[in-house]
Chain A
Amino acid sequence: MNRFLLLLLAVPLVAQDPRQIIIEVQKRQHSDSQRYEGTLEVTSQGNQVATKRWVYQRIGSFGNSKAILRFTAPAEVKGVGLLIVNHPDRASDQWMWRPAIGRDQRIALQDRSTRFFGTDFSFEDLEERDVDQYDYKLLADEDGMWKLESRPRKSSQYEYSYFWIKKDNYTFVKIEAYNKKGLVRTIDYKNYEQIKGIWTARLTEVYDVTRKSRTILKYEKLEYNLPMKDDDFTLQALRRDL
């Protein structure tokens, strides 16, 4: 009897739709726009640390958003920008702007797996994809977290990824991303705070397993739902210097 009761109690948890979990995550983290100033610390295998700063702005939300990221420091990279236009049904379009040579460059799909400007992120990691672009599987439910497997339906450098999502506030704790050869990188989300009612990680740590290097991204002056214009998220806007 007790066993049966236990089983009954367990049913809603095991039967929890992983897709619904992701939708709930996205719903809880939804904002119409976002802005933050990020500090990047890239620590190489040889413990050399390079620090850079950028300003990130986004309009729209998952699968239907546009974002511009522009480096502000050091001086050598100031003005270098990236425009990301996310689509609900396909991979994002990305353009890079290099003020020193005065031209933009489309980031080809084939290049999305490459490192994002010497950090341990890849260009693909900067995309925000729609929930329908992946298949999800719930693998485990333990320690107050769900462990989900996500497999991309369309082209991606990753074969699959594991997500750990906190059950109490539907926030990402960790992601492990795998390709055909095995684990590629891990992403840890830390220092969660509520900002305008949205649980927000103030630090993301990426570890490149192959290169054994680490990138820490600290989010500062993070704000949501600021008034922003679509016109500020175009190629013309990208080409504008700071």
Chain B
Amino acid sequence: MILLRLISWPYARKHLLRCLLTTAGIVLGVGVFVGMRTANKSVLAAFNQTIDRIAGAAQLQITAGDAGFDEDVLDKVRELPEVRAAAPVIEATVGTGQNNLLILGVDMLGDRSIRSYDLEGNDDAIDDPLIFLAQPDSLMVTKKFADEHGLAVNSKLPMRTMQGDQVFTVRGIMKPGGLASAFGGDLAIMDIYAAQKMFGRGRKFDRIDIALEEGTRLEDATAKLQALLGSGFQVEPPSSRGQQFESTSRMYALASNITSVFALFIGMFIIYNTFAIAVTERRTEIGILRALGATRGQIRTLFLTESAIAGLAGTCVGVLFGIVMARAMSGYIGGMLTEIYGVAQSPGDLTLDPWLIGTAMAMGLVTSLVAAVLPARGAARVDPVKALQKGGFQSLGEGENRTRRRWAMAFGVASVAAFAFNRFGIMTYIGYVLAILAAVLLSPALSFWLSRALRPLLAGLRPVEGALAADSLIQAPRRTSGTIAALMLSLALVISLGGLARSSYDSLAEWMRIALNPDFFVTTAETLSSRSFVFPASLADGLRAIEGVAEVQPVRSVRVMVKNAPIMVIAIDVGLVAKRVHLPPVEGNSDEMYRLTAEEKGVVVSANFARLHDAHMGEVLEIPAPAGILRLPIVGVVDDFSDQQGTLLLNRDLFIRYWHDDSVNVFRVYVTPGADAGQVRQRILQAFGGQQRLFVLTNREVRDFITKLTDQWFGLTNVQTAVAVLVAILGIVNALTVSITDRRRELGVLQAVGGLRNQIRHTIWMEAIAIGAIGVLLGLALGAVQLFYSIEIARRDLVGISISYAYPFQTALILIPVILGSALLAALGPAESAVRGSLIEALEYE
């Protein structure tokens, strides 16, 4: 404690800026970790809360994926003596301008056995229950929604339904709390039979909520219901609905974990660098302490304690930063999942997990301690006699450098060897880590060589300043190698993220070119992702009759639990579609797979389904459907970007038989060659637009929508990119601040012997730009390697889709001026500090 107070505290106060910059890496690493995880958790918690509130007293829910099932299932379920109450539900989201509104279609007669519509449990929420039931335009909204939209009882709310534009009447307002707070309060209740008409669901329910008789065991009731309905139905507690969400947010969690670990890794280098310099700077101090009797252990402990304190401070600030970040990110993630799944929501409150915060703090602290281990050991080994002598800095010994190079070579070889075994998932990660370690270990040597290579160039530009700047880098590699390593890692991260985006866009564009080739998509919503409304199958004939329409392909997509994951089943007339779309097969023969699927002898699966769920050609898939389990072999694997969880392609007739559902989500419409596409579109809208909810999206609009979704997904990586660039800039500022402080005497001498202030400035600027240039070179090179691993990890563990390697040259070109400019900007302060400081003080330094 005494040492800390007498030695460390004055040093920290004197180098406050450096201390702050040193902890910045930890702040960012911990911040990203806490922020992204908390945002994910909060969105998931909000979703679970909505499920919980909507579920009410339901102990079990019966579903058949999200396709729905026939009404008669309800009667069967009600026959079971274990069932006290069974309430059918239709759930759908509709846009209301500002927010999405979750509409819950319930049986108003019996639903109160499951759900309570207001806090007091009385009926005043509905003005007149009979009118509510009698009039299909009846809606009950929450107080929050009513207030936000200026609604009162008997207010009108227009909505576009499958029966055209209709005006709904608010006939009840739910008091806040309980059910009314589900979906952030953007909730409306309507009669289920009216909802069936509104959403075009025919005589189907989405699910049945079940409350059991007292004393009935959940397991017994589940087993009985499952036996009654068959394995085509899922009988689960409401809480299991979060599964789909969790599997989606898992991707963000994994991606954010990689970024935060990287940020911490970079932070570790910044701390290492600072402490290494501090040990060098304070060697006289250490020498005195040793001379006065301080043991090596005490010196080591002193530096480790300093590091722990810095780490703790950085971690605390990082946690706070993470919470602020989570608040912004949760809305973003919630919005994005709403776009994709139509059911997510922005959480009102953040869900702070003490375990997560504890883990983040431990990570920050451990990172900080690990970073200080080598400098602390170096400090402990300082020879007091040598330390008390004035002289040159300790520099990296050739022996030490050679050892690092040997380790780097070994890691590099091991990394390549791991690649050979990359069919085992873990080997990819091992190879990745080894490649990064090899690059880090090699970075001092590479920095040294590149500094030497840059010397003629710098000297050519400015003979004196350039040479001085290059020499500074060459003579004190330890001072800058940590910064360059941090910069290299940061930029490698930026390149890999940018490359991943670029590669994904390229692959996506190719898929869209092949798969999305109709002229129009007739949909029930402005987006393709909303599946709340469906068309009747009969509309296909109506569309075919429109002048200028050459072909109409109905598409039905539903999410079904296959291999314990919510997989998108796409039902199309395979024979018809295959004539116009031929996705290149990843496995199987293209003609054969479509023929077998059209003959209902197999199913084509997407590559991401195959990879993420370990499915192989020939494997017989069990697909649960209301009519029973559909067992079909996989006859082909294609790259399909329709859904992140994977897709199964079925023949439409087979789907209709097994799901008892001939409704349609989207009609793919091809225009007759030579026909005016604009006129055909107008004809479709004129013929059907007024009768029902119908949108005609052009090919371009659909592609733009998909690109927008992809932008949103990669929007998250922009945060990570920003963090990486910020860490890189902080690293440079830190290194230069250290460098200037470190060289104040040297710079003072330069001034004393006649060096002009501008020469000093230019020297520091050039040194900064040189650090930046070396970091950029190494970063862009390591980025190429990291991009390879990122694509492998994304393909294998995140999205499962084959993404072709595309180096992000554009990002690289942007990074060069950004980093060099940042380096120059970062040098301005330290350079001014160097030339404006007292010459006498500088010469007295140390």
Give the interface of A toward B (CB within 8 A).
44-46, 50, 52, 71, 74, 76-77, 79-80, 96, 98, 100-101, 103, 105-111, 114-115, 117-118, 123, 211
Contact B134 A80 (CB under 8 A): yes
Contact partners of A96 in chain B: CB under 8 A: 109, 133
Known: A46-B124, A111-B109. A105 touches B131 (CB 8 A): no
Contact partners of A115 in chain B: CB under 8 A: 123, 129
Contact B110 A108 (CB under 8 A): yes
B112 interface residue (CB < 8 Å to A): yes
30 contacts between A and B (CB under 8 A): A45-B124, A46-B124, A71-B130, A76-B134, A76-B135, A77-B130, A77-B131, A80-B133, A98-B133, A100-B134, A101-B136, A101-B191, A101-B194, A105-B193, A106-B75, A107-B109, A108-B74, A108-B75, A108-B78, A108-B109, A110-B83, A110-B84, A110-B86, A110-B113, A111-B107, A111-B110, A114-B109, A114-B110, A115-B123, A118-B128
Contact of A118 among B75, B86, B130 (CB under 8 A): B130
Contact partners of A98 in chain B: CB under 8 A: 133-134, 136, 193
Distance of A28 from chain B, by nearest CB (Å): 33
B139 interface residue (CB < 8 Å to A): no
Report the bound CA distance from A96 to B136 in whole Å. 14
Contact of A76 among B78, B126, B131, B193 (CB under 8 A): B131
Report the bound CA distance from A1 to B83 in whole Å. 61
Report the bound CA distance from A118 to B124 in whole Å. 10
Report the bound CA distance from A52 to B197 in whole Å. 27
B85 interface residue (CB < 8 Å to A): yes
B686 interface residue (CB < 8 Å to A): no
Distance of B553 from chain A, by nearest CB (Å): 32
Contact partners of B123 in chain A: CB under 8 A: 115, 118, 211
Contact partners of A76 in chain B: CB under 8 A: 131, 134-135
Q: Which 10 A-B pairs have the closest CB atoms?
A: A118-B129, A111-B110, A117-B130, A77-B134, A76-B131, A111-B109, A101-B136, A118-B130, A80-B134, A77-B130
Contacts of B370-427 to chain A: CB distance below 8 A: none
Report the bound CA distance from A14 to B110 in whole Å. 42
Tell me the nearest residue of chain B to A52, going by C-beta: B130
Contact A109 B78 (CB under 8 A): yes
Report the bound CA distance from A80 to B133 in whole Å. 9
Report the bound CA distance from A71 to B194 in whole Å. 19
B122 interface residue (CB < 8 Å to A): yes
Report the bound CA distance from A120 to B84 in whole Å. 22
Tell me the nearest residue of chain A to B211, going by C-beta: A110
* Most chain B beta carbons < 10 A, residue from A46, A98, A123: A98
Contact partners of B131 in chain A: CB under 8 A: 74, 76-77
Task: With A71-B134, A74-B131 given, name 14 new contacts (CB 8 A).
Answer: A76-B134, A77-B130, A77-B131, A96-B109, A103-B193, A107-B109, A108-B109, A109-B78, A114-B109, A114-B112, A115-B129, A117-B133, A118-B130, A211-B123
Report the bound CA distance from A168 to B143 in whole Å. 55
Contact partners of B75 in chain A: CB under 8 A: 106, 108
The total of Cβ contacts below 8 Å across the A-B interface reads 74
Contact partners of A79 in chain B: CB under 8 A: 134
Contact A100 B135 (CB under 8 A): yes
Tell me the nearest residue of chain B to A101, going by C-beta: B136
Report the bound CA distance from A166 to B579 in whole Å. 83
Report the bound CA distance from A79 to B126 in whole Å. 21
Contact A100 B128 (CB under 8 A): no
Contact B193 A110 (CB under 8 A): no
Contact partners of A110 in chain B: CB under 8 A: 78, 83-86, 110, 113
Report the bound CA distance from A98 to B78 in whole Å. 22
Contacts of B111-143 to chain A: CB distance below 8 A: 112-113, 122-124, 126, 128-131, 133-136
Report the bound CA distance from A10 to B128 in whole Å. 51
Tell me the nearest residue of chain A to B132, going by C-beta: A118
Contact A100 B136 (CB under 8 A): yes
Tell me the nearest residue of chain B to A109, going by C-beta: B78
Report the bound CA distance from A80 to B138 in whole Å. 15
Q: Mark B166-203, 1 if CB is under 8 A from A, else 0.
A: 00000000000000000000000001011001000000
Contact A50 B128 (CB under 8 A): yes
Contact partners of B128 in chain A: CB under 8 A: 50, 118
Report the bound CA distance from A118 to B74 in whole Å. 24
Contact of A117 among B74, B122, B129, B191 (CB under 8 A): B129
Contact A80 B130 (CB under 8 A): yes
Contact partners of B122 in chain A: CB under 8 A: 45, 211
Contact A101 B193 (CB under 8 A): yes
Contact partners of B133 in chain A: CB under 8 A: 80, 96, 98, 117
Report the bound CA distance from A123 to B108 in whole Å. 13
Report the bound CA distance from A123 to B112 in whole Å. 14
Tell me the nearest residue of chain B to A44, going by C-beta: B124
Report the bound CA distance from A103 to B107 in whole Å. 13
Contact partners of B113 in chain A: CB under 8 A: 110-111, 114
* Most chain A beta carbons < 10 A, residue from B83, B86, B126, B129: B129
Q: Mark B55-87, 1 if CB is under 8 A from A, else 0.
A: 000000000000000000011001000011110
Tell me the nearest residue of chain B to A76, going by C-beta: B131
Q: Mark B413-450, 1 if CB is under 8 A from A, else 0.
A: 00000000000000000000000000000000000000
Contact partners of B130 in chain A: CB under 8 A: 52, 71, 77, 80, 117-118
Contact partners of A117 in chain B: CB under 8 A: 129-130, 133
Distance of A213 from chain B, by nearest CB (Å): 8
Report the bound CA distance from A157 to B576 in whole Å. 57
Distance of B190 from chain A, by nearest CB (Å): 11
Report the bound CA distance from A77 to B682 in whole Å. 40
Distance of A112 from chain B, by nearest CB (Å): 9
Distance of A7 from chain B, by nearest CB (Å): 46
Contact partners of B109 in chain A: CB under 8 A: 96, 105, 107-108, 111, 114, 123
Distance of A71 from chain B, by nearest CB (Å): 7
Tell me the nearest residue of chain A to B110, going by C-beta: A111
Tell me the nearest residue of chain B to A213, going by C-beta: B123
Tell me the nearest residue of chain A to B203, going by C-beta: A103
Report the bound CA distance from A68 to B193 in whole Å. 22
* Most chain A beta carbons < 10 A, residue from B110, B112, B191: B110
Contact partners of B193 in chain A: CB under 8 A: 98, 101, 103, 105
Contact partners of B85 in chain A: CB under 8 A: 110
Distance of A118 from chain B, by nearest CB (Å): 4
Report the bound CA distance from A46 to B120 in whole Å. 14
Distance of A72 from chain B, by nearest CB (Å): 12
Report the bound CA distance from A106 to B136 in whole Å. 18
Contact partners of B83 in chain A: CB under 8 A: 110
Contacts of B633-667 to chain A: CB distance below 8 A: none
Distance of B148 from chain A, by nearest CB (Å): 26
Distance of B473 from chain A, by nearest CB (Å): 80
Tell me the nearest residue of chain A to B192, going by C-beta: A105
Distance of A99 from chain B, by nearest CB (Å): 8
Q: Mark B88-99, 1 if CB is under 8 A from A, else 0.
A: 000000000000
Distance of A127 from chain B, by nearest CB (Å): 15
Report the bound CA distance from A111 to B123 in whole Å. 16
Contact partners of A101 in chain B: CB under 8 A: 136, 191, 193-194, 197
Contact partners of B112 in chain A: CB under 8 A: 114
Contact partners of A123 in chain B: CB under 8 A: 109
Tell me the nearest residue of chain A to B137, going by C-beta: A100
Contact partners of B129 in chain A: CB under 8 A: 115, 117-118
Contact partners of B126 in chain A: CB under 8 A: 118
Report the bound CA distance from A52 to B86 in whole Å. 30
Tell me the nearest residue of chain B to A45, going by C-beta: B122
Contact partners of A211 in chain B: CB under 8 A: 122-123
Contact partners of A106 in chain B: CB under 8 A: 75
